[in-house]
Structure 1
């Protein structure tokens, strides 16, 4: 690929390198190719994306590294694996092979959990299927009085979770408790039964056999993506266990596939221990997460109106 060095130097202007990279990424089917090319360039040059135009150009060595990163991204390796981090709400989280890369739509569930947690002066918040710790660590940062417990069963994901938890604690956030456990275990967090104020979960929920982007298919752990034949294999036991862990009036939020906008609220209603059941869309208007409150009387409900669609 031809280079266009800046006048009087051996550096290539960022604009020229980014334009070339954007074309290569677009040809490979990468969405937001220009933005991702800029992010890779900013990462390599060590500047914020917004100041990329003011940065010094690429040295020949930097240009070689940039071109190598662009080639890997064109091969559909996740951008976050290339930069080693993923943005989530107000955090930058370390991610890489072995852990699910947090998605922007999950920020809505985390934000809902933060808002709900403000109902208590010192809430106990549990994050199941924590992965990189995105939800748990966001809650801990935004609700300093909260006690937050993050549960993850994958050894590979646990290493990323512990790394991120240690980093945020060192930055001054309240430490998050990390528990290595299978979230479908019938005795999960037995010592917290009836004490949890807010329970959040972003489980594997894609139905087996569904077509997913190459970044997901080749790089996200399958056990963090696929949730059995109908995508509900983990959600079902989570709903049942959450009813045991939540205090009366405590709340549950669980992310789901965009085909589950009726199924997950239906499971919550059928359980009988929840009320105020609602489903919430993501920013694209697709069904994305369901919420419910543990019945204040702690009992099972009889038949009746089940749930509604929320506006946010």
Structure 2
């Protein structure tokens, strides 16, 4: 048995020496998840003792973090739009930037009574499932190719929005029979293949399939509008999360595919983050 007040500074130093910027934040999350010990409890009762099994658990997590494994994979979950999503090796970790895509979709579909939505490259399902939770009348289909990501998405569907439809599919090859959609949404792979080796070590632990956007990072933006336009109802929305320097290219792809009312939305850091467009209505 050891007191938390004795163990904590040792563990914190290890994380800091591993180059983890938010070491204190991460360690507090580990303690809360592994020991059910909140930061307030740790500070008010530094004498509280923890057993050898719990110590071993935290030390194992720290060792894995030192090797670059993402904190989210250790915890088995991450929060997105106020909800916990199951995550682990093989699925992209939800990020706050993606909430901009969700916010814009909710605004654009505000006056559609029961919107029919496809979330392409769904990963954990954070985009489509969040919309399903925020708009219970929405009819959401989530499409994912990776077997590992599909399994995590299935867990999240069961936990958060069991009425959603989960489809195993390559969204560059098929629309899976979906028609009359009010929205096609996607946070696709958008990192150029040549940039992958230079990503931080935690990101390199995430699945390449969810990151690699081909040589220029633009493959999915180039192909999805052409294939999925016919699955949209007239006036239907298409919306992508994009990399900070990809807006001009993505806008041009939507224009060439015949979309209209195209615009770009910035994230809270001032970077271009979402491109939206509409399928023309019938004249």
* Alignment TM-score > 0.5, same fold: yes
After TM superposition, give the deviation of residue 84 of structure 1 in Å: 0.7
After TM superposition, give the deviation of residue 60 of structure 1 in Å: 3.2
Q: Aligned ranges for residues 220-299 of structure 1 at < 5 Å?
A: 220-272=206-258, 274-297=259-282
Q: Does 1:12 align with 2:3?
A: yes
Q: How many residues align?
A: 279
**Aligned residues of 1:279 and 1:290 also touching (Cα < 8 A):** yes
Q: 1:123 aligns with which of 108, 112, 115?
A: 115
After the TM superposition, which segments of 4 or more aligned residues of structure 1 sit over 4 Å from their partners?
Answer: 47-52, 54-57
Partner of 1:215: 202
Q: 2:102 aligns with which of 103, 110, 116?
A: 110
Partner of 1:7: none
Partner of 1:310: none
After TM superposition, give the deviation of residue 53 of structure 1 in Å: 3.4
Distance in 1 (CA, whole Å) between partners of 2:42 and 2:141 is 39
Q: Does 1:60 align with 2:52?
A: yes
Distance in 2 (CA, whole Å) between partners of 1:28 and 1:261 is 35
Q: Aligned ranges for residues 96-245 of structure 1 at < 5 Å?
A: 96-168=88-160, 173=161, 175-185=163-173, 187-190=174-177, 192-193=178-179, 195-210=180-195, 211-217=198-204, 219-245=205-231
After superposition, the Cα gap between the structure-2 partners of 1:11 and 1:117, relative to the gap in structure 1 and judged at 3 Å, is: farther
Partner of 2:19: 29
Distance in 2 (CA, whole Å) between partners of 1:51 and 1:252 is 47
**Aligned residues of 1:19 and 1:34 also touching (Cα < 8 A):** no
**Aligned residues of 1:144 and 1:174 also touching (Cα < 8 A):** no
The CA RMSD measured in Å over matched residues stands at 1.9
1:182-201 CA-to-partner distances (Å, cap 9, x unmatched) read 0001x4133x33x1112110
- Structure ranking higher on relative contact order (CA contacts 8 Å, 6+ apart): 2
**Aligned residues of 2:31 and 2:38 also touching (Cα < 8 A):** no
SS of alignment partner, residue 219 of structure 2: coil
Distance in 2 (CA, whole Å) between partners of 1:176 and 1:113 is 17
**Aligned residues of 2:175 and 2:228 also touching (Cα < 8 A):** no
After TM superposition, give the deviation of residue 248 of structure 1 in Å: 1.6
TM-score, length of structure 1 as denominator length: 0.83
Q: Aligned ranges for residues 28-47 of structure 1 at < 5 Å?
A: 28-47=18-37
After TM superposition, give the deviation of residue 47 of structure 1 in Å: 4.3
The structure richer in helix per residue is: 2
**Aligned residues of 2:260 and 2:280 also touching (Cα < 8 A):** yes
Q: Any unmatched runs of 5+ in structure 1?
A: 1-9, 299-312
**Aligned residues of 1:18 and 1:34 also touching (Cα < 8 A):** no
Q: Any unmatched runs of 5+ in structure 2?
A: none
